[in-house]
């Protein structure tokens, strides 16, 4: 049997009134929120607020548990069960052999919960930082239907596809940022360290500098005098962004809407959101999750506030009796091909297969777009850097060329 200590796996922050009706607050560990509330009641505390304590995704060993670790775990467990290995033994094998010590610790803790009488879905549900509702719902459906290994395979495939899509979008966003950062660094080095050497040489000429050269020299003098302002502005921007972005819903909405309008990158984000929508809904439908309930997970999985709001509105429409096809049409967000595929799926009773085809198509589209962007950005970086460096070099040598002509 699992000990109580092993079951106390969630830390909660609470606030309430004590027996003297005075406000008090603190932390408590319990398997569930209901258990935490029950413990507080026995202590004479009337709970006003309680929520899981935010914490970084680190285990006891200090190693970070990443989404790819969860994907690998799901795939390994599915493979073990398909090979006929008992569930508890499979956890033992996967946990002890995991490269990430933190992940291994968590797997062994889940094993202890299962030995203590929990179902796999219940044990996973105690760790919401790592296993979301979609993951737990699919595992629960697999346990009830007696096809746990099949559902774990679907979960693993979903996790792998989602991680791949996330990496592609991240790659697409990284290239433009990389161009800007490299351009800024190269320009700063030239203006602060290289141009002043030429400027001192030009002052000894005693002649008037060409307009282009004078402009570069002025920029260099400004950069030398005010570099701290530039650094302060950059640091201040990121500090301000880091403070307000997580706290301002309107700011997040504005950024998400703006990202969809950026050429090429916006197209990648748009198509990746459709791929996530289709993949998540297909996976939930395969598990037998009701459509209205499934759309909760789908909305969060899209990764963009525009799609989130559209899917939540679709959820309202469908709960009122509207078909998914018509609800998607009213959102004016989904391409006609996607709507028609969904319509065919609804008519034929094979909506899961149609959604999977949509997801496959758009994932391939995103893959091609990212590859094209990569191919485009490589020469673009060379052109931009060449223009900056070449322009500064020409500006510095222009007075020397003119002196040569005069001689």
Dump pLDDT digits (tens) for 164-213.
Answer: 877 877 777 777 777 778 888 888 888 888 888 877 777 766 667 788 88
Pairwise CA distance, residues 68 & 164, whole Å: 10
Instruction: Please check whether residue 296 is in contact with residue 310, taking contact to mean a CB–CB distance below 8 angstroms.
Output: no
User: Which comes out higher in pLDDT, residue 83 or 407?
Assistant: 83
**The pLDDT of residue 207:** 64
Angle between helices 265-286 and 305-319 (to 10 degrees): 40
User: Which comes out higher in pLDDT, residue 139 or 246?
Assistant: 139
* Helix (H) or strand (E) segment spanning residue 65: none
User: Which comes out higher in pLDDT, residue 162 or 340?
Assistant: 340
**The pLDDT of residue 63:** 67
**The pLDDT of residue 344:** 92
CA distances from 119 to 7, 126, 254, 386 (A): 13, 11, 42, 61
- Which SS3 state, helix, strand or coil, does residue 10 take? strand
Statement: the pTM of the whole predicted model exceeds 0.75: no
Residue 154 has pLDDT above 50, yes or no: yes
Percentage with pLDDT > 70 across the chain: 92
- Closest CA relative to residue 277, chosen from 221, 341, 213, 217: 341
87-132 per-position pLDDT tens digit: 888 888 888 777 778 888 888 888 888 888 888 888 888 887 788 7
Average pLDDT value for residue range 257-263: 86
Residue 260 has pLDDT above 60, yes or no: yes
Residue 406 has pLDDT above 70, yes or no: no
Instruction: Please check whether residue 137 is in contact with residue 289, taking contact to mean a CB–CB distance below 8 angstroms.
Output: yes
Q: Both tokens of residue 362?
A: 């758009």
Strand order in the sheet with 23-30: 23-30, 10-17, 46-52
With cut-offs at 50, 70 and 90, classify the pLDDT of residue 57.
very low
Instruction: Please check whether residue 11 is in contact with residue 29, taking contact to mean a CB–CB distance below 8 angstroms.
Output: yes
Q: Considering all CA atoms of the chain, what is the largest pairwise distance in Å, rounded to the nearest integer?
A: 98
What are φ and ψ of residue 16, in 5° steps? -165, -170
Instruction: Please check whether residue 30 is in contact with residue 10, taking contact to mean a CB–CB distance below 8 angstroms.
Output: yes
**The pLDDT of residue 60:** 47
Residue 315 has pLDDT above 80, yes or no: yes
**The pLDDT of residue 216:** 85
Average pLDDT of the residues of the chain: 80
DSSP-H helix ranges across 146-289: 148-189, 195-203, 211-244, 249-261, 265-286
With cut-offs at 50, 70 and 90, classify the pLDDT of residue 354.
very high
Residue 28 has pLDDT above 80, yes or no: no
Across the strands, what pairs with 15?
25, 49
Percentage with pLDDT > 90 across the chain: 6
């Amino acid at each position: 049997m699992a000990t109580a200590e092993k079951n106390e796996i969630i830390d909660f922050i609470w606030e309430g009134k004590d027996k003297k009706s005075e406000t008090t607050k603190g932390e408590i560990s319990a398997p569930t929120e209901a258990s935490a509330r029950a413990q507080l009641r026995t202590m004479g505390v009337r709970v006003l607020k309680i929520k899981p304590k935010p914490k970084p995704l680190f285990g006891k060993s200090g190693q970070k548990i990443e989404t790819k670790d969860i994907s690998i775990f799901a795939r390994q467990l599915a493979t073990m069960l398909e090979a006929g290995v008992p569930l508890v033994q499979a956890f033992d094998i996967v946990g002890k052999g995991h490269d990430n010590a933190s992940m291994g610790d968590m797997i062994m803790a889940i094993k202890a919960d299962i030995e203590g009488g929990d179902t796999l879905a219940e044990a996973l549900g105690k760790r919401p930082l790592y296993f979301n509702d979609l993951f737990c719902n699919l595992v629960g459906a697999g346990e009830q239907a007696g096809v746990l290994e099949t559902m774990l395979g679907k979960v693993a495939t979903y996790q792998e596809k989602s991680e791949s899509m996330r990496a592609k979008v991240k790659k697409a966003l990284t290239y433009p940022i990389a161009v800007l950062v490299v351009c800024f660094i190269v320009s700063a080095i030239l203006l602060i360290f290289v141009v002043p050497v030429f400027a001192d040489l030009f002052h000894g000429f005693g002649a008037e500098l060409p307009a282009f050269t004078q402009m570069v020299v002025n920029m260099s003098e400004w950069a030398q005098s005010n570099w701290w302002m530039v650094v302060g502005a950059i640091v201040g921007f990121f500090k301000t962004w880091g403070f307000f972005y997580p706290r301002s819903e309107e700011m997040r909405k504005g950024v998400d809407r703006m990202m969809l309008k950026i050429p090429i990158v916006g197209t990648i984000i748009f198509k990746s959101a459709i791929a996530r929508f289709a993949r998540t809904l297909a996976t939930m439908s395969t598990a037998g999750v009701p459509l209205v309930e499934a759309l909760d997970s789908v909305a969060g999985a899209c990764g963009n506030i525009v799609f989130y709001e559209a899917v939540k509105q679709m959820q309202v429409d469908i709960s009122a009796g509207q078909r998914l096809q018509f609800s998607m049409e009213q959102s004016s967000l989904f391409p006609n091909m996607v709507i028609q595929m969904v319509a065919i799926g609804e008519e034929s009773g094979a909506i899961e297969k149609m959604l999977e085809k949509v997801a496959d198509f758009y994932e391939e589209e995103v893959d091609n777009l990212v590859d094209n962007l990569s191919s485009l950005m490589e020469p673009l970086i060379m052109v931009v850097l060449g223009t900056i460096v070449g322009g500064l070099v020409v500006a510095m040598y222009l007075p020397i060329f003119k002196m040569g002509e005069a001689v």
